[in-house]
Structure 1
Amino acid sequence: MSAILVAGSEGGIGRACVEAVEASGTPAFGVDLADGIDITRPGGAEKALARAAEAHGSVSGVVHAIGMSGRSLGDGGVADCTDAAWNEVHRVNHESVFRLLRASIPAMPEGGSIVVIGSALGTSIDDDFRTVAYASAKGGLIPLIRVAAREAASRGVRINLVSAGLVATPMSRRARESEAIRARMPALMPLGARPCRPEEVAQAVLWLLSPASGRTTGAVIPVDGGWHLR
């Protein structure tokens, strides 16, 4: 049975995507650094697709759920961001998407679907989340997936992006534990004034992978509790 490849399967959102796909009755093939596959490096995407196809015969969908924060490397405002943070955050959060798209588009059958996890910070500016490398890398995903979606449309392959707000994952712990940010939650995410759950993001991903979204491509779907309405 054709499988869904989930890159970044050990992360909070990636793990939730694996569970949602499997609960729907479709096999999920998760890959992460622990599996010896690094999508962010040359050849990693091709290796992941080959292993998934070997295990399940074919791959009909791909999820890119790899991401990192660059704060520990010096990500911050433009005047403060270090070269190390800028380079590594773009390599992991942006370049790896390009690598996976480049490998996946030719490998997808007609009707295939590729979903990329983006961030509300890619389209909004907030002083409590001032990380220029992260925002730039995530913001750059929008033209990337649109160009790719246009290219893949002739093959019957769809490519979309889920723009996630603050999600309750280990990576967001610093923000979620901040008293200042907790006090602002009703304004930041007015729909319930709480972080999104990984499972809520995964359900949007599941819809984009399914035939129910068969006429949707090149779209940016917000799952952010209303963050984008500010």
Structure 2
Amino acid sequence: MRILVCGGSGGIGSACVAALTTAGHQVHAVDRDGPDGVDITEPGGAEKAVAQAVDTFQGRLDGVVHAVGRSGRRLGDGPVSTCSDEAWRDVHRVNLDSVFWLLRAALPVLRQNDGGGSVVVVGSALARTLDRDFLTAAYLTSKSAVETLVRAAAFEGAPDGVRVNVVAPGLVETPMAARALTDPAIAARLPELMPLGDGRASTPAAVAAAVEWLLSPSSSQVTGAVLPADGGWSLR
């Protein structure tokens, strides 16, 4: 398969690139901080990323991964009563608008394929669970909205064989999660939050394995789904 990975320099994105390459797929990775400087969180960036991938793969694109995300705590994200306007706007632009722009750019390309294609968006277990230590209004609503957007795209793409799904991790060992993972109070709660991890956060590689499965023919009947790859976070 020929796959575009957006956010390919990030913690989960780079793990996706590695997993997909190891599995024998051709990968075109873009990132705001990468050599191409493609930023899908800005208008026009998603179209540029898809066009680059189609050109790289000589006219065909089989799969797309959205692995771009942002925490807005430093901008004032928090409970509804205190969440700042800046955090609300910025987090939604990165976590939700960019998914919309990428789906809008990729769906017409994938629908042209004989056999369709697959899109996987990295979401969050927080989209469906509330917790006192992770009550961030902008982040929670952006990730929840992504799930509905993905279902709408899956419904649209299904007649042409295009599948669209979400992988929803809990805490993952990435720079974005460093604040939480270095907080002694949250670290002490990890056995409760992620019981399958036995007190440890997930690795990017574990999330990437779930992404690779959803892109592969092994998941050919799965679309519009949210796959929890969260170490049991969503069981609470």
- Specify the TM-score bucket, using the shorter chain as the normaliser: over 0.9
Residue type of the partner of 1:50? A
Q: Is the Cα–Cα contact under 8 Å of residues 7 and 31 in structure 1 kept in the other structure?
A: yes
- Separation in structure 1 between the aligned mates of residue 228 and residue 143 of structure 2, nearest angstrom: 13
The within-5 A match list for 1:30-49 is 30-34=29-33, 35-49=36-50
Shift of 1:45: 1.1
Count of equivalent residues: 229
SS in 1 for 2:62: strand
Shift of 1:103: 0.7
- Separation in structure 1 between the aligned mates of residue 143 and residue 223 of structure 2, nearest angstrom: 18
Q: Of 200, 214, 223, which residue of structure 1 is paired with 2:229?
A: 223
Structure 2 residue 19 is matched with structure 1 residue 20? yes
The within-5 A match list for 1:144-159 is 144-159=149-164
Residue type of the partner of 1:65? A
Residue type of the partner of 2:107? I
1:168 aligns to what? 173
- Separation in structure 2 between the aligned mates of residue 207 and residue 111 of structure 1, nearest angstrom: 16
The within-5 A match list for 1:1-230 is 2-34=1-33, 35-57=36-58, 58-108=60-110, 109=113, 110-191=115-196, 192-230=198-236
Residue type of the partner of 1:11? G
- Separation in structure 2 between the aligned mates of residue 193 and residue 105 of structure 1, nearest angstrom: 39
SS in 1 for 2:65: strand
Residue type of the partner of 1:135? L
SS in 2 for 1:133: helix
Shift of 1:114: 0.2
SS in 1 for 2:64: strand
Q: Is the Cα–Cα contact under 8 Å of residues 66 and 93 in structure 1 kept in the other structure?
A: yes
Shift of 1:37: 1.1
SS in 2 for 1:69: coil
Show structure 1 runs of 5+ residues with no match: none
- Separation in structure 1 between the aligned mates of residue 52 and residue 145 of structure 2, nearest angstrom: 29
Q: Is the Cα–Cα contact under 8 Å of residues 112 and 156 in structure 1 kept in the other structure?
A: yes
Residue type of the partner of 1:180? A
RMSD of aligned C-alpha atoms?
A: 0.9
Identity %: 55
Q: List structure 1 runs of 4+ shifted beyond 2 angstroms.
A: none
Q: Is the Cα–Cα contact under 8 Å of residues 193 and 225 in structure 1 kept in the other structure?
A: no
Shift of 1:193: 2.3
- Separation in structure 1 between the aligned mates of residue 45 and residue 2 of structure 2, nearest angstrom: 18
SS in 2 for 1:116: strand
SS in 2 for 1:140: helix
SS in 2 for 1:22: helix
Q: TM-score, normalised by structure 1?
A: 0.98
SS in 2 for 1:145: helix
